[in-house]
Structure 1
Amino acid sequence: MTETRSFTALSAKLDNRSARAGVIGLGYVGLPLAMAIARAGFAVVGFDVDPKKIEALEAHTSYIDAVSKEDIADAVSAGRFTATTDFAALADCDVIVICVPTPLTKHRDPDLSFVEATATAIAERLRPGQLVVLESTTYPGTTDGVVKIILEKTGLQAGSDFFLGFSPEREDPGNRDFRTATIPKVIAGDGEQALALMTAFYGAVVDTIVPVSSTATAEAVKLTENIFRSVNIALVNELKTVYAAMGIDVWEVIDAAKTKPFGYMPFYPGPGLGGHCIPIDPFYLTWKSREFELPTRFIELAGEINSAMPRYVISKLAEALDVKLGKALSRSKVLVLGLAYKKNVADIRESPSLRLIELLHERGASADYSDPFVPQIPKTREYQALMGMRSIELRQELLADYDAVLVATDHDDIDYKMIAAVAPLVVDTRNVFAKLGLNLPHIVKA
């Protein structure tokens, strides 16, 4: 490997921790990463277009469960973290990490507008001796075919003047067993020098790095991880509907099957898929595969099954109301329990609960929600009509006003025994009541 002057200078800065890092996008991925970089001894500048996030961070307030206010205060007091909306500060950063959203369009095509806009902002300040890293989940070829092209329009060349890499994020909101530094980090560089710089940087930040041969391979790793989950969740969701028709409890089946010490891994059904990864990422590969005229039937079928779950749950609710209470869904008042997409977090991205509420409204039902982590529904891309809805406090006298409680998210800090005692009908999509031994006639699994 022939070292360029830019490579030698940046390598020295990474070795002695004098390199300044910039993290663009201070959400569920970017903020924990920024804190990990600061703990590793680097100075970090966090960038975000949302001034409210910057104000919160300047007040040492965290809006993400994985980052405490003490984490922020420690990083700031050590002189290792600042946050800003001013992208001009990118010029002073030696390492720039892109952690912006990569959603889908209405037609399930990749929306790379945030990545493209960010790469353009970097290009306006790009200088020799910088390492630019994409962490946003995307289809194979994005780093080389999108980001690199934008950056090289400056006249600077990747691999000699500046360096380019990809490292997929692996954050799991609400998981207390892992944090950014303890999750093995897949890394790739555009060329030998870029990979060496990626190794030096991320090797200082996380406990374990996993180098792969190309940025496209690293991009494919992330998609593979989430496609694996999407397909297996779709499988158990389909089994749920089949076994329910046979009078078989799918959760009992899974609990027995997982006692096999080899050849089986338990996945669990639910009301649909949520979060920033699993409902979206598989379709990035589906879209890219069209370029090669190859079908992705398995992936698309899994998406169809998982997307159909909210409507299946509502049909089970309507059936239970009719059979148990003799009441039509259109004349019923329903409380959706849990708005977040998973338990014990405040993250509502792609949450199936939003779709459940929308379907209830479409069927003429009166619908509210209760979630201790989400006091109010913020503005979302797809469910703007629900914006401003407020969480209902779970009090016995209020609960008695509802015909049914639909359990969508099984947060731990919920009085399920009180719900079982007061609610006329409970439709449980998470098997939470059975786990508590509350197998009662008015509790229906869906």
Structure 2
Amino acid sequence: MFNRLQSMLNDQKASVGIIGLGYVGLPLAVEFAKAGFKVTGFEVDQSKVKSINKRVSYITDVPTEEVAGLVKNGKLSATIDFRELKKQDVIIICVPTPLRKSKDPDVSYIIAASDSIKKNLKKGQLIVLESTTYPGTTKELVLPLLEETGLRSEKDFYLAFSPERVDPSNPKFGIKNTPKVVGGTNQEAGILAHDLYSYVTNKVVTVSSTEAAEMVKLLENTFRAVNIALVNEVALMCDRLKLNVWEIIDAAASKPFGFMPFYPGPGIGGHCIPLDPHYLSWKLKTLNFYSRFIELAGEMNSRMPEYLVQKVVDTLNDKGKTIRKAKLLVVGVAYKKDVSDLRESPALDVMELLVKRNACIDYFDSYIPEVRLKSHT
């Protein structure tokens, strides 16, 4: 069974199913199709399925021309019929993992995807979870669900984890030149995952387990969240000291070793950095471990919108004006430049705070045609 699937991967004859065709799933589906695999995307969103099958991309990083060519050649298709999972040799899960208001992980999308696979699981399939989650999810959540079929991962199917590393609108790094980390529930699963991803990326790094692979992603983004929090606090320090924080950082960055520049901002946003550290923090709390750096970083970064608004108030006061009825323009509301993604964007928090102070605000963002604030719904 192992040799058969490995041979199919090496000959690009394995069929690949990808659950979730968002900013992670669609670019991955396109790369596998470009590598010669026959790829089927599985979606609950009918509009996405129709768009792909009509040869039109809805993701900025994926050119419509590429989608059109792959669909025309029979290498890429999309469906809402999850019974088609039974026809796949490889199934990759690329679904969202948001946080609940309590900052607990919401793994309902992973459970739903795993349940769909369970209903269509067959011997010899390789299942890979890419959704960012806490260490232990693959073995503690996905594996038991799949084994409810009576099939066993040690002998009937293969299960692995490979964290997505997509950075939307990054012109320098994409799937091909960003190393992929993989870890299997056993050695054979790790080998197959390594072989699979070697066709879409230049370098695959195999770690000892699915838990290790899950932890890799959380370390990457916790590192960023903590360092952004540090430089945000340095910005507040420099404000008190009447120093230019940008001058300080630029001068510190002249050191060729031992320093990596991070830059202050109105907070953190997007699909990863504001959320991922909390998956780790939640898991550790179940083990009676309190992750102080993560909690402090979250607290510091969440203070920045209020700090920014207060700076606006102070600047207006210095010019003899008040925030009330002041006409203000917010330039850029997505969580980063050149994307249409509003998830966790601190700009929304800034705008909410300005509205609460009775400011008259407008915004400009060529990627965002409309913004709905909570205070106006």
Same-fold status (TM-score > 0.5)? yes
Distance in structure 2 (CA, Å) of the matches to 1:356 and 1:61: 35
Asked if 1:313 is matched to 2:308, the reply is: yes
* Residue 285 of structure 1, aligned match among 280, 283, 286: 280
Quick check: 1:187–1:198 contact (8 Å CA) kept in 2?
A: yes
* Residue 200 of structure 1, aligned match among 195, 203, 209: 195
Quick check: 1:48–1:54 contact (8 Å CA) kept in 2?
A: yes
Quick check: 1:377–1:386 contact (8 Å CA) kept in 2?
A: no
| Equivalent residue number for residue 332 of structure 2 | 338
Gap regions ≥5 residues in structure 1 = 1-5, 388-446
* Residue 158 of structure 1, aligned match among 153, 161, 165: 153
How far residue 196 of structure 1 moved from its aligned partner, in angstroms, is 1.6
The one-letter code matched in structure 2 to 1:335 is L
| Equivalent residue number for residue 265 of structure 2 | 270
* Residue 5 of structure 2, aligned match among 5, 10, 20: 10
Asked if 1:327 is matched to 2:332, the reply is: no
TM-score of the aligned structures, taking structure 1 as reference length: 0.82
1:15-54 alignment, distance < 5 Å: 15-54=10-49
1:225-236 alignment, distance < 5 Å: 225-236=220-231
Quick check: 2:334–2:345 contact (8 Å CA) kept in 1?
A: yes
Asked if 1:372 is matched to 2:340, the reply is: no
| Equivalent residue number for residue 92 of structure 1 | 87
Cα distance per residue 1:22-51 (max 9 Å; x no partner): 111111111111111111110000112112
Quick check: 2:352–2:374 contact (8 Å CA) kept in 1?
A: no
> Helix, strand or coil: the match of 1:83?
strand
The one-letter code matched in structure 1 to 2:322 is A
How far residue 386 of structure 1 moved from its aligned partner, in angstroms, is 5.5
| Equivalent residue number for residue 148 of structure 1 | 143
Percent pairwise identity? 51
* Residue 98 of structure 2, aligned match among 76, 98, 103: 103
Quick check: 1:66–1:179 contact (8 Å CA) kept in 2?
A: no
The one-letter code matched in structure 1 to 2:363 is Y
Calculate the aligned-residue CA RMSD, in Å.
1.3
Cα distance per residue 1:205-230 (max 9 Å; x no partner): 21110000000000000000000000
How far residue 279 of structure 1 moved from its aligned partner, in angstroms, is 0.4
User: How many pairs were matched up?
Assistant: 377
| Equivalent residue number for residue 360 of structure 1 | 354
Change (3 A) 1:386 1:375: farther
Distance in structure 1 (CA, Å) of the matches to 2:362 and 2:141: 43
Distance in structure 2 (CA, Å) of the matches to 1:315 and 1:177: 36
Asked if 1:257 is matched to 2:252, the reply is: yes
Asked if 1:62 is matched to 2:60, the reply is: no
Distance in structure 2 (CA, Å) of the matches to 1:307 and 1:221: 24
Distance in structure 2 (CA, Å) of the matches to 1:227 and 1:272: 14
Quick check: 1:91–1:127 contact (8 Å CA) kept in 2?
A: yes
> Helix, strand or coil: the match of 2:279?
helix
Specify the structure having the higher radius of gyration (Cα): 1
Distance in structure 2 (CA, Å) of the matches to 1:314 and 1:276: 24
Quick check: 1:140–1:216 contact (8 Å CA) kept in 2?
A: yes
Gap regions ≥5 residues in structure 2 = none
How far residue 58 of structure 1 moved from its aligned partner, in angstroms, is 2.3
| Equivalent residue number for residue 241 of structure 2 | 246
How far residue 66 of structure 1 moved from its aligned partner, in angstroms, is 1.4
How far residue 60 of structure 1 moved from its aligned partner, in angstroms, is 2.3
